[in-house]
Amino acid sequence: MTESTIQSATEIRSFNTQPNPIRSPWDASHYNHRTFFNFDRAKGEVIDYHQQRNLIVGEDFIVSLLNGLEHEVGESAGLLCYMIGENWGKQDAIAFDGWFSQYYDLTLQTANLSFAMETWWWPFRAQGWGTWNLDLNSLKDGFIFVDLFDSAVAKTLGYIGKPVCHLYAGMLAGFFSAAFGKSLSSTEIQCYAMGNEYCRFLIGSEKRVSATEFWLASGATATDIEKRFRAEEIPVEVELLRRS
């Protein structure tokens, strides 16, 4: 073995291509009140980190809005709120896909899903829509549970004995439908306005959600429904783990 052969065998080679710089997450660090919102007193505007215009409203506004909807469309007010939320969620998924890629050089397909979902929800938390706990353990079984704390709607209305967070349910259905490329529905299976400590939502196929609403009407609790799903009483129709 020649000296040149030994040198070639022990030489540590490196690639000559230039590294592709990844934007530091710190560049997108807007996780406090002062950096997320820009209060322009001269124009009377509140613009958030994503250049979206915000309105600061109180509980009276929410109550008046919901009462106005009920006055106009009666019992269909809940469905209308759901549809508004669903469209909002789908549009927000498109917007999120853009700024998530811009800030982190990631997409929903390439990012850690938990990181992506927490990043998506942060603006809602900053805006006062509440905090959440996302259970992704059942993705492969075709459904997701979301626990919502401090719902702006339920906290405002207080105890009225029925679910009231139709806007949230629609938003979650719309966002996850767009995120996973599936046709998904959502329903609230427990609510702060019913005396529960927090609100809980189920996201899944229309068949699964319809069965859930039937069980709820028959007196089942959120715990009962979760046990039935874990026992696979409804076969998996949509595997959410495979993101489109």
Q: Helix-strand-coil percent breakdown of the chain, rounded to 5?
A: 50, 15, 35
Q: What is the pLDDT of residue 9?
A: 45
Q: What is the pLDDT of residue 114?
A: 92
Q: Which of 75, 176, 76, 55 is nearest to 117 (CA)?
A: 176
**CATH T-level fold of 35-230:** Muramoyl-pentapeptide Carboxypeptidase; domain 2 (3.30.1380)
Determine the Cα–Cα distance for residues 166 and 77; give it in Å rounded to an integer: 9
The values of phi and psi at residue 188, to 5°, are -95, 120
> Which residues, 6 or more positions from 19, have their beta carbon under 8 angstroms from its beta carbon?
none
Secondary structure of residue 107 in the 3-state scheme: coil
Q: What is the pLDDT of residue 50?
A: 84
Q: What is the pLDDT of residues 111-170, one digit of tens each?
A: 999 999 999 999 999 899 999 999 888 888 888 999 999 999 999 999 999 999 999 999
Q: Which of 152, 155, 143, 118 is nearest to 238 (CA)?
A: 143
**Whole-structure pTM value:** 0.83
The values of phi and psi at residue 138, to 5°, are -105, 20
For the cut 70, the answer to whether the pLDDT of residue 1 exceeds it is no
Q: What is the pLDDT of residue 240?
A: 65
Burial class (CB in 10 A: 0-12, 13-18, 19+), 24: exposed
Burial class (CB in 10 A: 0-12, 13-18, 19+), 96: buried
Q: What is the pLDDT of residue 109?
A: 84
For the cut 70, the answer to whether the pLDDT of residue 89 exceeds it is yes
Q: What is the pLDDT of residue 234?
A: 74
